[in-house]
Amino acid sequence: PFDWYREMRESAPVRYDPSRGCWDVFRYADVKRILGDDGTFSVNPRLADDFQEPERPEEGLLFETMLFKDPPRHDELRGVVDDAFEPRAIRALEPEIRELATDLLSDALADDRGELDVVDDFAYPLPVVVIAELLGVPAEDREQFKRWSDTLVESSSADDETEAFLERQQQAQMEMASYFFEMIADRRESPRDDLMSQIVTRELEDGSRLSEEGALGTCILLLIAGNITTTNLVTNAVRCFDAHDLFDELRAEPDAIGRAIEEVLRYRSPVQAMSRVATEDVTLRDAEIESGDRVVAWLGSANRDERQFEDADAFVPDRSPNQHLGFGHGTHYCLGAPLARLEASVALEELCTRTATIETVDADLQPVRSSLIYGVESLPIRYERSS
């Protein structure tokens, strides 16, 4: 999409697309302004003139979560979980995350084929298992949990919407929901030291607690917002590091991995766009946006804007400063950013440590079938193990 973004930044930085019925915004300054002004640009999809009630029940649940609520309700909902995602709390998880990453890699590297798939073997299971562990899903249920999320992920990418497929989907969603409902009831009764207990027991401002649906919606939000995104961050990092021959350098200097991952977030942003609705008539450049219009802020384009970044189309692993918008900006700035950063650094560190060489197999890479997420469906690599 990057050539298209460049063209749009130059020739139509704020434009209306009649085929999708929304505005598109491409420059860094404008994208940042929109995300930073939630009084004028709301996340509430119901405010859009063309809003239609969602068909899928889990979308309805999501609409009640922090991601789709403006302040003050947003702040109240985010307050239920935000301390669990603070950098200090997340840093404490490092040993567990490292163990999970090494387990996955040991399995993937065990069969001596000299090849593995970065997505299936590593980048996909890691965040799913981490969030399961954080929520308090017991070890013996994790395989089941992973199968449910497989089906959920399938949903966003499947093009054969056959009846059998839809049935399988609904089945998995119902099973997962009832599993969560059981967990919710259990933790209400006897809270433990896990995130699920925090979600169901934490008091809101009026002294009430999240309803069962509210708690379920929060769990689904954490799964949906955290998994595909982190999978693609890890995968995109492997692609960038290979394309720029960085693996040897990073093996010698693992401390440089964190900064290189920031550059991946800028250069190949896993989330390319966020949607907003104008709450009043507003002029942006020469565009007259009307109250009720939908506005798409293209993070992926903002992150390549040469007005903000020197040599914006170059991958500079130690770029500094690097104020990318890969995690958004303002009120809805990614809650999981510290966790995603930690998971990606640990994953890449372990991959570097356990291999002596890595190269991506010249395969026909399929982009993820979503216009909002940037990444590939699978990434086969050839490696030699470190001795």
Contacting positions for ligand HEM (CB under 6 A):
35, 43, 66-67, 78, 131, 221-222, 225-226, 229-230, 233, 270-271, 274, 326-328, 332, 334-336, 339-340
**Nearer of residues 108 and 295 to ligand HEM, judged by Cβ:** 295
Neighbours of 183 (CB within 10 A): 23
Give strand pairing partners of 22.
17, 294
The closest of 345, 373, 382, 148 to 259, measured between CA atoms, is 345
- The strand pairing partners of 277, in sequence order, are 42, 294
Of 229 and 301, CB closest to ligand HEM? 229
* Closest distance to ligand HEM from the beta carbon of 275 (Å): 7
Residue 323 amino acid letter: Q
User: Tokens 């085929």 map to which residue?
Assistant: 19
Residue 114 phi/psi, 5-degree rounding, is 80, 10
CA–CA gap between residue 5 and residue 301 (Å, rounded): 5
Closer CB to ligand HEM, 101 or 335, in the complex: 335
Residue sitting closest to ligand HEM (CB): 336
Name the 3-class secondary structure at 29. Answer: helix
Nearest approach, Cβ of 222 to ligand HEM (angstroms)? 5
**Residue 14 or 225 having the CB closest to ligand HEM:** 225
* C-beta of 250 vs 334, nearer to ligand HEM: 334
Say if residues 264 and 236 touch (Cβ distance below 8 Å). Answer: yes
Nearest to 6 by CA among 301, 218, 353, 284: 301
Question: Shortest approach of ligand HEM to residue 387 CB, angstroms?
Answer: 32
Please identify, using beta-carbon distances, which residue of 173 and 229 lies nearer to ligand HEM. Answer: 229
Nearest distance from residue 322's CB to ligand HEM, in Å? 14
| Residue 102 CB, nearest approach to ligand HEM (Å) | 20
The kind and range of the H/E element at 284 are strand 282-284
Least CB distance to ligand HEM at residue 91 (A) = 15
How would DSSP label each residue in 185-199?
HHHHHS--SSHHHHH
